[in-house]
Amino acid sequence: MKLVKLIANLGYGSRKDVTAMFRAGMVTDANGEVLYTDDQAAHADIRIEGEALDPPAGLLIMLHKPVGYTCSTKDPGRIVYDLLPPRFRLRSPLLSTVGRLDRDTSGLLLLTDDGALLHRIVSPKTHLPKVYDATLAHDLRGDEAATFASGTLLLEAETTPLAPATLDVDSPRAARLTLTEGRYHQVRRMFAAVGNHVEALHRSRIGGLGLDDLPAGQWRILDAPDRERLFAAD
């Protein structure tokens, strides 16, 4: 792939913009030697104003989503893409969220431009567990864990029962729920089905991958060991 197309596909600008960057001497190799549009160079050896290029297609990002952001690209309010470098929205292939967290839910959100990887993560066949920490409006009754684990719970307006889920109670109004599905507003609707209301919701883990110490609003690119951790529970 020609250098102009490669860099444009990473979102650094249009091909016209990238060509201008070459003319301005902004594109160099790892040794600081100026590169030209017809040169050949390995992705890892290219620098723009001294900085290494973003990873090529196949990017996987972990974001600690704060409350108040949506996963849409068109919402007039705050969106999760606002927390990333602007060029990430211009990448080709496009960077997409892996599933969604609603505006009022915080926690671990993945984004990728790899369609096959996205499908593997969200596919029900993968059975990848997702862990949610819920703060509730009312005390738990004590029978919720058995109800969620039964595999017979029907959500309102649905005809297919939920897959069994695991509920671990931390306190009368705080619990951790582990799911292998991802239905619309599933956690909130599950607690509503047993007469409760979720006041705060946080996703802390997907598969074997947790947020660790990543602060809210921050992100990082996941490497090969991270991906292995993600599917460790696969």
- For the stretch 185-219, pLDDT in tens is 999 999 999 999 999 999 999 999 999 999 999 99
Third-level CATH fold of 129-206: Alpha-Beta Plaits (3.30.70)
Paired tokens of 211: 């947020």
**Distance of alpha carbon 92 from alpha carbon 57, whole angstroms:** 8
Paired tokens of 233: 């529970």
| Superfamily classification of domain 3-52 | RNA-binding S4 domain (3.10.290.10)
Third-level CATH fold of 60-122+215-230: Alpha-Beta Plaits (3.30.70)
Active site residues: 102
For residue 119, how many other CB atoms are within 10 A of its CB?
12
Cis omega (within 30 of 0) for bond into 164: no
What are the beta bridge partners of residue 52?
47
Paired tokens of 7: 């860099």
183-101-133-221 Cα dihedral, nearest 10 degrees: 120
Q: Is 11 exposed, middle or buried (0-12, 13-18, 19+ CB in 10 A)?
A: middle
Q: Give start-end residues of each CATH 3.30.70.580 domain in the chain.
A: 60-122+215-230
Cis omega (within 30 of 0) for bond into 93: yes
pLDDT in tens, 16-67: 999 999 999 999 999 999 999 999 999 999 999 999 999 999 999 999 999 9
Task: For residue 111, give the 3-state DSSP assignment.
Answer: strand
Q: Give start-end residues of each CATH 3.10.290.10 domain in the chain.
A: 3-52
233 falls in which pLDDT band (50, 70, 90)?
Answer: low
For residue 234, pLDDT over 70 is answered with no
